[in-house]
Structure 1
Amino acid sequence: RPAAQRPGVLPGCEAKARVYSERYHLLLQRLLLEGRLVIEAEALAGALLPGQRVLTPVESLVGNPGRKLTFGLLSRLPGEGARRWSLEDAHQAYPLELAEGLEADGLVTDGSFVLAEGELRGGAFRATRLEAPPALPRRASEERDQVPA
């Protein structure tokens, strides 16, 4: 039976969205594997151990006052003039304001997934720190990988 759509060199936009979604979930899984970060819902249930940091999903920032650590995709907003940025996860996006004196670790560019520390104010996330997610050591990945050999 013939394919529903003609083959092409470039995939459709839904394929690009799927790639970002899969990448987001893979990186989030890796961030949580070492146990240094705990999702906010688990921390509220009493699962926070000494030395662990709470990771608040971007979608949970609204109505959740105070300084937060979140994880999402850094994207440039369309428009003329000054560059404007957004931070998004699979369910929500907010304009991103980079605070004066912003600390940044690693290479952070448009299309990067980042850990962002800051506060949601007036509908925008004001970041005081941005960093690339740390790489998971191979040994830790192999020890905790759930894929059968």
Structure 2
Amino acid sequence: MRALSGLERKQLLRSARQRGVVIQAEALSVLTEIYSTLFSPNFGKFVETLFEYFQEVSDGSDILTEETSHKLFASLLRMSKREAGEIESRLTLIDAFQVPVPLFNRSSKAYGIDENAKPTLLSGPEEKIGMFRKRFELLLQRTLRDERFHLPETHDFVDTKVRLTEIESLHTQSGRKTVLGFLTQLEEGTWFLEDLRSSIQISIKNAQFTPGIHTDGSIVLAQGEVVGSLFVVDTLGSPSAEKRLDSLAAISRCDLFGPALEDADRKLLAEKETEDGEAMILFLADVWLDTKQVLGGFKRLLQGFQESKIAPAVIVLMGDFSSPQLSATEQAVNLQSNFGALGNIIADYKEISEQTEFVIVPGPNDPVSHS
């Protein structure tokens, strides 16, 4: 592998001008690294592929900056791995403050991303209200996608379908109705159903409950009839679940967990999931590395996996990583050596260390969580 020669740099800049692209000087060193790492000595393919992918990462700009060149490098590296039948990792770690916020557009009946949402650590009361409203909207749309709630355009076979009724309409309609709402106690000891527009007191004394956990604040489907000012519930349960493929079809290409995977990556990941259908992800919390009992238990855990010829795909270790009796100063001093001891334990189990990915998640009292 070799770097770009002076002549090749001139040819690259000339090709950029012909395409109306300006390459900043700071980007040239990154482009040279891209060439030497992925394309050398095929300069022609490098130029052709470079400007093809530049259109995808440039956000409409015609200036190739140093930042854009790093995006190009990452994108081309993924392309190279796909061509080799590889995938970078089975894991994608997503910053909680970068997770997109979904928004349902009633006009287009499609999901999009709320561009105005700005996640913060300490949000105001209006954010909590908005959270409940969005949760209700998401479950309402999921319920309406259920075949049982698809009302036909004609009146044929209407008795085989279920019609949702808004709470504010219950008093104007007679007969047995189905309502989606929050199960709440607006008055202590008294149960209500509440949707986005109204609320009504309910009686669940003689109600039958479908399997599930129904708690204060949960969203439920309730069937019953209004008697006076009371909605007498005869059946109460959770909204039905939805298959993963149906959910993906509903949200289209709206990625709810960060940067969207390219189609080729999705296909390769699906193949990997099929090949390794028994993959295991293990979560361990309060891993106090200064405690012999915890380290001993961790050793026994890895020993058991190794003896069983099983290597988890991922082990997530979550803090706090120091026991509560240690002061902040003692934690900071001991943490590095404690992680060294953890690394030595993992290294003792060769199959685990080679096949398992480890993810470290600091706890609220770990020194690193405040940096």
Using structure 1 for the length normalisation, give the TM-score. Answer: 0.78
Question: Could you tell me which residue of structure 1 aligns to residue 132 of structure 2?
Answer: 20
Question: Could you tell me which residue of structure 1 aligns to residue 149 of structure 2?
Answer: 37
Name the aligned partner's letter for residue 73 of structure 1. Answer: F
In the alignment, structure 1 residue 98 sits paired with structure 2 residue 187: no
- Conserved 8 A contact 1:59-1:92: yes
Q: Map of 1:1-149 to 2, 5 A cutoff?
A: 10-38=122-150, 46=154, 51-79=160-188, 83-100=189-206, 102-105=207-210, 106-148=212-254
Secondary structure (helix, strand or coil) at the match of 1:61 reads: helix
Q: How far apart, in 2, do the equivalents of 1:48 and 1:26 lie?
A: 29
Relative to structure 1, the CA distance from residue 17 to residue 46 in structure 2 (aligned partners, 3 Å threshold; closer, same or farther) is farther
Secondary structure (helix, strand or coil) at the match of 1:116 reads: strand
| Cα offset, 1:67, TM superposition | 0.7
| Cα offset, 1:96, TM superposition | 1.3
Deviations 1:102-125 (A, max 9, x none): 111111110000000001122121
| Cα offset, 1:13, TM superposition | 2.4
| Cα offset, 1:35, TM superposition | 2.5
Q: How far apart, in 1, do the equivalents of 2:174 and 2:253 lie?
A: 38
Relative to structure 1, the CA distance from residue 85 to residue 145 in structure 2 (aligned partners, 3 Å threshold; closer, same or farther) is same
Secondary structure (helix, strand or coil) at the match of 1:27 reads: helix
Name the aligned partner's letter for residue 130 of structure 1. Answer: L
| Cα offset, 1:133, TM superposition | 0.7
Q: Gaps (5+ residues) in structure 1?
A: 1-7
| Cα offset, 1:88, TM superposition | 0.8
Compare relative contact order (CA 8 Å, sep 6+) and give the higher one, 1 or 2: 1
Identical residues among aligned pairs (%) = 34
Deviations 1:64-98 (A, max 9, x none): 1111011000001333xxx2111011000011111
Q: Which is richer in strand?
A: 1
Q: How far apart, in 1, do the equivalents of 2:157 and 2:241 lie?
A: 22
Larger Rg belongs to: 2
Give me the CA root mean square deviation. Answer: 2.3
| Cα offset, 1:138, TM superposition | 0.4
Name the aligned partner's letter for residue 136 of structure 2. Answer: Y
Q: Gaps (5+ residues) in structure 2?
A: 1-119, 255-259, 261-371
Deviations 1:110-145 (A, max 9, x none): 000000000112212111111011111102112333
Q: How far apart, in 1, do the equivalents of 2:125 and 2:224 lie?
A: 31
- Conserved 8 A contact 1:34-1:140: no
Q: How far apart, in 2, do the equivalents of 1:13 and 1:59 lie?
A: 25
